[in-house]
Structure 1
């Protein structure tokens, strides 16, 4: 059986689980290219040595998870419910993380799966063509074009209806830097049930790397999981 680290390094692996028998799990959604702005093993290295169950999820279609994850479900909503079942079998409680496209999926999964807490870094809030045009968001054009070509009438492209339908019991922690487009996306969600927007200075869209270096990311992860501060 391959180790969790080996599964993280395998780009064909869409679901990797490291069951440590803990009361809480750390779930991370990879973004485009299967990363979290930093390498997955770096992210999970923040809890190395800690008895915390870890789950890493990749988007095989590289399309904001709208086509789901084969091991969890055929679309984003179904995958969120599939993740809920996986977590219930493991421990019952999980904190979700993701950056950029992975942050979009993490927030959607947290709301659909009724998880308690999610941290999204530089996440897109809406991938609707009209919203992206209004904010002049022309990033990832080939990927976005493929997303629209494959979209159906029920494709989940906008997180706001999920947020508005929430009772606020899911803590949606949106982390943004000084990137204008990331701020514009966060503004779409600000003030909606359960949403808190955290501003971090500098770093641009990939500011998670900076948070990793200065220790902020580790503090966020440890606090959310109820782990003691690093010595």
Structure 2
């Protein structure tokens, strides 16, 4: 049954948290920006809808309404099987989303997600030919043969399930899908951590970096590596107080002031020790910024040699 978008009530946190649906559509204002969010994997409970709260904050920053479609995959099948209210496989789900977009008539369509949701943001962003995709730590393929070739075993069981029991439509290589849409590629932003995947590893090995560079071969793709983050790059950006500014700039073109974060005694000691060992001040400032300190606070702390 198609979703009727006219006169939809506004969503709120309670409804988003308690809903048992796989798709929710916020109050629609035709002509305004539309953001379609895709939730990340959750093995022990129904996956949450993602980015709703961040988009509400962005509305406050911008003073403008953002149309929102919230989607999650309750089966954790990387959005390749049934999504209640939308479809039984990607082509059906894309057709339902395409119909919603036609009804909303937005000025711009953005898809966004992290991890499993990032794969969906890219897959449906390409299928729907949206203007922009923001993907945090995406895979670039779901093909088990390629996964074994790259030692990508994190979600191999899901890949094998899709390969042995394939849905009626399937997109197991985003590079191949992107090449089929070469003349209509969205503006793709890929954000990923580059810290080695294994704790204590001294090797520069990060599977998210591999996937990001593989996707960059498509073109029209901007990479944002974060050297102090692993796979959960969104949490890293939340912890370092950069997520709101990043989304505001990427989605709405709004420049927010850097959030102040005070240098703690531990960081003061770190600065002093690195300066003593001959660390370059500009490199220390860059590292501090990667950890969420503003440029002004970082530069002042380094100039003071880590002293309060």
TM norm structure 1:
0.87
After the TM superposition, which residues 212-223 of structure 1 pair with which residues of structure 2 at under 5 Å, given as runs? 212-223=238-249
In 2, the alpha carbon distance for the partners of 1:4 and 1:146 equals 36
In 2, the alpha carbon distance for the partners of 1:190 and 1:169 equals 12
In 1, the alpha carbon distance for the partners of 2:82 and 2:163 equals 15
> Do 2:115 and 2:139's aligned partners in 1 also have CA atoms closer than 8 Å?
yes
Moved over 4 A (4+): 39-42
Query: Which of 17, 20, 36 matches 1:12?
Result: 20
Query: Which of 39, 63, 68 matches 2:77?
Result: 63
Q: What is the SS of the residue equivalent to 2:231?
A: helix
Which residue of 2 is the match for residue 80 of structure 1? 94
Q: Over the residues paired in the alignment, what is the CA RMSD in angstroms?
A: 2.4
| Structure with bigger RCO (C-alpha 8 Å, 6+ apart) | 1
Q: Quick one: structure 1 residues 119 and 154, their matched pair in 2 at CA, closer, same or farther if it must change by over 3 Å?
A: same
Q: Which has the larger radius of gyration?
A: 2
Query: Which of 183, 189, 208 matches 1:173?
Result: 189
| Bigger strand fraction | 1
| 1:117 aligns to 2:117 (yes or no) | no
- For residue 41 of structure 1, report the CA deviation from its aligned partner: 4.8
In 2, the alpha carbon distance for the partners of 1:183 and 1:174 equals 10
| 1:147 aligns to 2:162 (yes or no) | yes
In 2, the alpha carbon distance for the partners of 1:144 and 1:118 equals 23
Q: Quick one: structure 1 residues 95 and 83, their matched pair in 2 at CA, closer, same or farther if it must change by over 3 Å?
A: same
After the TM superposition, which residues 29-44 of structure 1 pair with which residues of structure 2 at under 5 Å, given as runs? 29-33=38-42, 34-35=47-48, 40-44=51-55
> Do 1:30 and 1:98's aligned partners in 2 also have CA atoms closer than 8 Å?
yes
> Do 1:7 and 1:13's aligned partners in 2 also have CA atoms closer than 8 Å?
no
Q: What is the SS of the residue equivalent to 1:205?
A: coil
In 1, the alpha carbon distance for the partners of 2:132 and 2:95 equals 16
Unaligned residue ranges in structure 1 (runs of 5+):
none
In 2, the alpha carbon distance for the partners of 1:13 and 1:111 equals 24
In 1, the alpha carbon distance for the partners of 2:90 and 2:132 equals 18
Q: What is the SS of the residue equivalent to 2:86?
A: coil
Equivalenced residues, count: 229
> Do 1:77 and 1:109's aligned partners in 2 also have CA atoms closer than 8 Å?
no
Q: What is the SS of the residue equivalent to 1:164?
A: helix
Q: What is the SS of the residue equivalent to 1:28?
A: strand
In 1, the alpha carbon distance for the partners of 2:211 and 2:240 equals 25
> Do 1:25 and 1:54's aligned partners in 2 also have CA atoms closer than 8 Å?
yes
CA deviations over 1:165-192 (Å, ceiling 9, x no partner): 2215411211111151111111221221
CA deviations over 1:143-180 (Å, ceiling 9, x no partner): 34433332257422111111112215411211111151
Q: What is the SS of the residue equivalent to 2:139?
A: coil
